[in-house]
Amino acid sequence: MSTSDVGIDDLPIRDELRGKSPYGAPQLDVPVQLNTNENPYPLPEPLVERIAERVREAARGLNRYPDRDAVELRTALAAYLTRTGRHSVGLENIWAANGSNEVIQQLLQTFGGPGRTAIGFEPSYSMHGLIARGTGTGWISGPRNDDDFTIDVVAASEAIATHRPDVVFITSPNNPTGTAVDAETVLALHEAAQQAKPSLVVVDEAYVEFSHRPSLLPLIEGRPNLVVSRTMSKAFGAAGLRLGYLAAHRAVVDAVQLVRLPYHLSAVTQATALAALEHTDTLLKYVEQLKEERDRLVAELRAAGYEVTESDANFVQFGRFDDSHGMWQKILDRGVLVRDNGVPGWLRVTAGTPEENDAFLDAVRELKKEQSA
């Protein structure tokens, strides 16, 4: 019997995965790629050298498993947060994994799972729902205002009281809208979540270094059910490294160890991340440039007649379009790849280098003229 036309659904996979699509931002080979919120600047050469040095050192010990608890790396991450986050944390408050996606997965494996649910306020980061599905956690789509994409505290608290989720995701700045959430809102939702269950509140701060507002990290103090997750993929310009981390009460760090795979963070990853953290100040200089470029994109898009959502991230949501996918294609035809996140009427562009942003702005200005001609 030929098995050449066997597909996923012919396999004995879990029912909830049948007919579903994997996460898949298109990776197209076009001149200007502004679609996955990456940092456009390659790592500076002295850092590349330092990574090579550290990795060479690590290579000598690759016959052994890596430090399972990533002590040196977690200590360096704690020092970074203490220096920049207006709140002092130690090694015991930090956990690291392969991207914040793995951090989120470990949190859902620990606090979600079969018979449990998680809520996010959508549109938001689609992987929260996808990782929930992958871990057998039920997903609840909570409300978000559809004019400015802020979270309405009353409506969101009501959703928490009604559904009594086990995990609450608050993304700030939010992807794909760019919207930041204030501390009062997080505190109110945390309160609602504790009354309803109590449940774990995850503040996803993947983009916080680009924000006009300070990190919500100090909110973990005295709140063992509140976790802040962060990443080196954006501000540190190291998406290829795959290094995410969380800051929380030490009990949360102990809890995720119940599900983490032994030796999940390779010695090469740990060595590379440590090298990057040595160059924190240089890397964060690019953040300042990107914030300026983000603000320029907002201003120029508005001047060109587009609607733009306030952004605290390294990307900008712009619209509105009757046919956002058609618009996405027209921008792509001009050599610029932006993101259609499936939010009706809106597209998202990542802040790139000034030249890349100029190419994008030229394309959308031209399209505006065509529309009004």
- Would you tell me which residues interact with ligand PMP (CB under 6 A)? 37, 99-101, 125, 171, 175, 204, 206, 231, 233, 239, 244
Shortest Cβ 99–ligand PMP spacing (Å): 3
Shortest Cβ 250–ligand PMP spacing (Å): 22
Comparison of 171 and 211: residue with beta carbon closer to ligand PMP = 171
Comparison of 110 and 229: residue with beta carbon closer to ligand PMP = 229
Shortest Cβ 231–ligand PMP spacing (Å): 3
Number of H helices, E strands in the chain: 11, 12
Shortest Cβ 243–ligand PMP spacing (Å): 7
Shortest Cβ 310–ligand PMP spacing (Å): 17
Comparison of 231 and 309: residue with beta carbon closer to ligand PMP = 231
Q: Which helix (H) or strand (E) holds 244?
A: strand 244-247
Shortest Cβ 233–ligand PMP spacing (Å): 3
Comparison of 55 and 239: residue with beta carbon closer to ligand PMP = 239
Shortest Cβ 323–ligand PMP spacing (Å): 25
Q: What's the CA gap between 215 and 30, in Å, rounded?
A: 35
Burial 178-198 (b: 16+ CB within 10 A, else e): bbbbeeebbbbbbebbeebbe
Shortest Cβ 175–ligand PMP spacing (Å): 4
Q: What's the CA gap between 105 and 205, in Å, rounded?
A: 15
CB proximity list for 12: less than 8 A, separation 6 or greater: none
Comparison of 118 and 367: residue with beta carbon closer to ligand PMP = 118
Comparison of 54 and 234: residue with beta carbon closer to ligand PMP = 234
Query: What are residue 117's DSSP bridge partners?
Result: 138
Q: Is 205 exposed, middle or buried (0-12, 13-18, 19+ CB in 10 A)?
A: buried
Token pair 């298109």 in the structure block, residue: 26
Comparison of 125 and 321: residue with beta carbon closer to ligand PMP = 125
Q: What's the CA gap between 106 and 109, in Å, rounded?
A: 5
Q: 177 and 317 in contact (C-beta within 8 Å)?
A: yes
Q: 99 and 243 in contact (C-beta within 8 Å)?
A: yes
Residue 273 backbone dihedrals phi, psi, to 5 degrees: -65, -40
Q: 201 and 341 in contact (C-beta within 8 Å)?
A: no
Shortest Cβ 123–ligand PMP spacing (Å): 11
Residue nearest ligand PMP by beta-carbon distance: 99
Comparison of 273 and 361: residue with beta carbon closer to ligand PMP = 273
Write the CA distances from 353 to 107, 238, 293, 356, 360, integer angstroms. 35, 16, 8, 5, 11
Shortest Cβ 190–ligand PMP spacing (Å): 19
Q: 328 and 337 in contact (C-beta within 8 Å)?
A: no
Q: What's the CA gap between 301 and 319, in Å, rounded?
A: 9
Comparison of 140 and 246: residue with beta carbon closer to ligand PMP = 246
- State how far Cα 46 lies from the chain centre: 27
Residue 246 backbone dihedrals phi, psi, to 5 degrees: -125, 155
Q: 45 and 148 in contact (C-beta within 8 Å)?
A: no
Comparison of 101 and 106: residue with beta carbon closer to ligand PMP = 101
